[in-house]
Amino acid sequence: MLARWGIRLVASLVGIAVGILLADALLTGFSASVGAIVAATIVFWVVHLVVDFLALKVLVRNPSIAVAGLLALASTIVSLVIVNIVVSGLRISGASTYVFATLIIWVTTAISVVVGGRRIREQR
């Protein structure tokens, strides 16, 4: 059980970090220093966990797949806004940058979670 939790943790952190790196490389309104990428990854992960928990466990108890996907997008953008406020060295300017950064991070995190899930199934 601890190994599965570790795989999920690493997969999530890698997905977030890759998403931040891609957003930094692809979006002109998104910039992050190396230290900010590390800090943003950790802060994003913590905030995303809290927002996801509140959204999926408290507000909506039995979400459909579509609602869960929308909540994941919403929690990603909320986490991104909080990270932008909290982490120095990270700058996001413009609404379109927020939208595209959210999509990039959401996609990379979703891919990493799928890969992590496959890795867990392979170990069984």
d(CA 20, CA 29): 12
pLDDT recorded at residue 59: 65
pLDDT recorded at residue 56: 67
pLDDT recorded at residue 2: 62
d(CA 10, CA 21): 16
pLDDT recorded at residue 54: 79
pLDDT recorded at residue 117: 83
pLDDT recorded at residue 60: 65
Q: Domain count of the chain?
A: 1
Which domain range does residue 75 map to? 2-123
pLDDT recorded at residue 61: 67
pLDDT recorded at residue 75: 86
Question: What residues contact 118, with CB distance under 8 A and at least 6 apart?
Answer: none
What are the residue ranges in the chain where pLDDT is below 70?
1-2, 56, 58-61, 63, 124
